[in-house]
Amino acid sequence: MQLYNTLSAEERTALIENSGKQRLTLSFYAYAHILDPQQFRDSLFMAWNPLEVLGRIYVATEGINAQLSLPADNFYTFKDHLDTIPFLKDIRLNVAVEQDDLSFLKLTIKVRNKVVADGLDDASFDVTNKGIHLGAKDFNQMLEDPNTIVVDFRNHYESEIGHFRGAITPDVETFRESLPIIENQLADYKEDKNLLMYCTGGIRCEKASAFFKHKGFKNVYQLEGGIIEYTRQVKAENLESKFIGKNFVFDARLGERITDDIVAQCHQCGKPCDNHTNCANEACHLLFIQCDDCKEAMHNTCSNECLEIIQLPEEEQKALRRGVNKGNMIFRKGKSDKLQFKKSGELGDIALATAPKAKRSRIRKTLIGKGEHYFPKAQVGQFTIEQGELKVGDRIIISGPTTGEQQLTVDVLRVNGQEGNIAKTGDKVTFNLPFRIRLSDKLYKIIE
């Protein structure tokens, strides 16, 4: 029986785009004692795969941590299944602030030692002795108390694009790093200060609050449901948002806007910007903040070195990557001397700019082909037409994880190496492009 994902990201993207179904992105977590995590994992896959659930889920003997998406039509069937599991019955589901049908492209359920890598010895303290949960209104009120210290238990690349005003934002790359740093920094305030903590969805604070109570902190509080639930309550109750900027999320969106404040800068030019990107060089994949102008000029790369590499033939790029360790020394989160405007640690609360209002209009499109090659010197992209046809004058969309979503009109077309006006299924087509394409890119025709 199939217990793993079999479709590529490209195939899944095409299915989602052609289905016409709206998808919901959501998350949840639960600490519980699971005797057989592997069996539990397999049962989830068998139940969720037919519901077209996609996402990243971690299962351990201590519980489950899930970020996923599914067709909106299947939401209640999915919820009914969760209710059949005793420790997941009536669990709160954190629905994303901003929705994207392509937030996840495969279903991955992994068995781990822990659902969050916290580095703690759970046997050394009572993990159930947690801090007091606060809703958005009470959290806002406690923020106004001069005896309150608010701490962001996320990583530096998360807090840089958005955080609560006045929060301590540790300069760390992992959750486990933040625990001893915060303990030492606040050692003198265990008795007389309110320790107020928050994270994305609440799971990191569940363990952190118990750890800090064990370490002698008397007044420990945590934001219920994290930033995601806080934002929902702020909107539902018409409260002031004390969180400014974007909330970083661990899916293809890389962030959802909470307020119109832009509090970060493009790491390359310093322009106000809070859009994360991954370097297009497959041997780098550095996560950093990049504005649209730098994205176009640098072709989604973090440095001139990476820009030069992506213009090499694919075989030469593979040769350069061969044998290179692909661990944390390469896939760093915004830690590079090449990024002149990187900020972490102490962050300001003053907005550098206001985000433009997003224009939401659903474009009707149909998938007709895929990317094959890019010729950087000539600035020409090559595609294979897999279905339908493409004509001079057609409006198209080129879409991919690195390319983003680019719209343009085909002015000149070459079909199988010759000038032509129309390409059909099986044809190789080329036309001028001001940006680099990749093998994962899809070619869509906009339907008028």
Average pLDDT over residues 2-16: 79
Which of 16-25, 86-95, 399-408 bottoms out in mean pLDDT, i.e. has the lowest? 399-408
Q: How confident is the model at residue 362 (pLDDT cuts 50, 70, 90)?
A: low
Residue 7: the pLDDT is: 81
Greater confidence, 409 or 364?
Answer: 409
Please say whether the beta carbons of 64 and 201 come within 8 A: no
Identify which of 140, 340, 352, 405 has the alpha carbon closest to the alpha carbon of residue 246: 352
Residue 122: the pLDDT is: 83
Q: What gap in Å lies between CA 300 and CA 28, rounded to an integer?
A: 32
Residue 329: the pLDDT is: 42
Q: What gap in Å lies between CA 201 and CA 26, rounded to an integer?
A: 10
Catalytic residue among 199, 205, 273, 291: 199
pLDDT at 327 over 60: no
Cα 424 from chain centroid? 36
Average pLDDT over residues 206-219: 93
Summarize pLDDT for 244-287 with one digit per residue, the tens: 999 999 888 899 999 999 999 999 999 999 999 989 888 888 99
Q: How crowded is the C-beta side of 64, counted as CA atoms within 13 Å?
A: 24
Cα 49 from chain centroid? 22
Residues ≥6 apart with Cβ < 8 Å to 322? none
Stated pTM of the model: 0.77
279 included as an active-site residue: no
Radius of gyration of the chain (CA): 24
Q: What gap in Å lies between CA 359 and CA 379, rounded to an integer?
A: 29
Please say whether the beta carbons of 271 and 407 come within 8 A: no
The sign of the torsion formed by the CA atoms of 78, 84, 85, 90 equals positive
Adjacency order of strands within the sheet including 63-71? 94-95, 23-31, 63-71, 54-60, 107-111
pLDDT at 1 over 60: no
Structure tokens at 115: 């659902």
Residue 331: the pLDDT is: 42
pLDDT at 358 over 70: no
